Amino acid sequence: MTNVAVVGSQWGDEGKGKIVDWLSERADVVVRFQGGHNAGHTLVVDGKVYKLSLLPSGVVRGKLSIIGNGVVIDPWALMSEIETVREQGVKITPETLRIAENATLILPLHGALDRAREAAQGAEKIGTTGRGIGPAYEDKVARRAIRICDLADPDTLPERIENLLTHHNALLRGHGADEIDGAETLDALRGISAELLSYAAPVWRSLDEAYRSSKRILFEGAQGFMLDVDHGTYPFVTSSNTLAGQAAAGSGIAVGGIGYVLGITKAYTTRVGSGPFPSEQDNDIGNLLGERGHEFGTVTGRKRRCGWFDAVLVRQSAKIGGINGIALTKLDVLDGIGDLSVCVGYRYEGTNYDYLPAGRNIQAGIEPIYEVLDGWDQSTQGARSWAELPAAAVKYVRRIEELIGVPVALLSTSPERDDTILVRDPFAA
């Protein structure tokens, strides 16, 4: 048995929720290792719909769930999410949920700055959720952040908050926004610190014990490869590393403990927010994909941009991210569309590329090179074996495997968790 890291191989929204839930039933421990409450997973378990943003998917199944130090945590959003899930009948206690004591907190001042910056950018805005994730990560690397463990030392909190506001209020003034009151921030933190600290723990020890006991650990990523702060479509990216390598640094487990990397990959492509999108279809095809795939963000409800499958991006994601196999999702959305285009290369000012260059101008101006594949009229929805798939659908999947250089480990044919064709169990890889 091996541990499994689940990551998105595109721009996020690939359907990680269902796959993570499918895997979490087989896992002993489930870990979130990066991001914040700007990304969400939707789970459907026994007919109940759970929408999670910070909580690892394992909480729904009673598994030990860990929020690692690589996650930035809005404590009020977290407590609200815990309460919502409890009302749905899920038991959450410090025995089932542990939060890294060295995780960075998102405070109201972070959201205020995030929104002020986006408003000032106008048409050049990044497309953030405005929830303070970016500013919180900035404070972390600038070594002025407030971490969960700091709440256990209330005598130093006023000084820490004052230090933060010296920086943030100057920026807010510059954007013409209201300044943040330090006393209100301090009171708010004091009001929530006891409950938050009840979950705080040195989670690296829990993970080390689980690893040495041969427990199956599932590392649950958020967003996707092309939103990675280093390797994505910068600056239209998130503020953390979204690759499987971050699972080690963002949770405290030894790098050798990660194991199999499963890249969740949609059978077409979507992205939310601003930034380049080579295979985007701003036309009837894009609208059809969006309608069939119910392409709206779990957290924000924003409509997603839709386009053809981009094999160049996924191949790059697989190589850099060390993806061993993919879970191909939403194949059924392509039923009956007709001919299907797949992006197999790019062209920019007369030069062809078999990868996405890092330059912002090139990314904005490249044109996709397409290969056209036969579509299928029969339904793939609910298929649970290769024999139930139309021949053309099987050819489409096989061609994707060839183009990205990675095999399909799981194939999802509907939002229902059991409508999954298992080719290779990642935990047994």
> Whose CA is closest to 157, among 194, 197, 187, 201?
187
Q: How far lies 161's CA from each of 34, 102, 132, 154, 156, in Å? A: 24, 17, 16, 11, 9
Q: How far lies 170's CA from each of 118, 120, 239, 250, in Å? A: 17, 15, 22, 30
> Whose CA is closest to 400, among 319, 343, 337, 354?
343
If you search the block for the tokens 């610190």, which residue do you land on?
Answer: 193
Query: What is the per-residue pLDDT across 243-266, written as a single tens digit (0 to 9) for each?
Result: 999 999 999 999 999 999 999 999
Q: What pLDDT was estimated at residue 282?
A: 94
Q: What pLDDT was estimated at residue 47?
A: 77
Q: Specify which residues 310 forms β-bridges with.
A: 343
Q: What are phi and psi of 133, to 5 degrees?
A: -65, -50
Q: Which residues of the chain have pLDDT under 50?
A: none
> Whose CA is closest to 313, among 347, 354, 261?
354
Tokens of 28: 């002993």
Query: What is the per-residue pLDDT across 73-90, written as a single tens digit (0 to 9) for each?
Result: 999 999 999 999 999 999
Q: What are phi and psi of 410, to 5 degrees?
A: -140, 150
Q: What are phi and psi of 368, to 5 degrees?
A: -75, 145
Q: What pLDDT was estimated at residue 395?
A: 98
Which of the residues are catalytic?
13, 41
Amino acid residing at 61: R
Residue 54 in contact with residue 67, Cβ under 8 Å? Answer: yes
Q: Specify which residues 43 forms β-bridges with.
A: 50
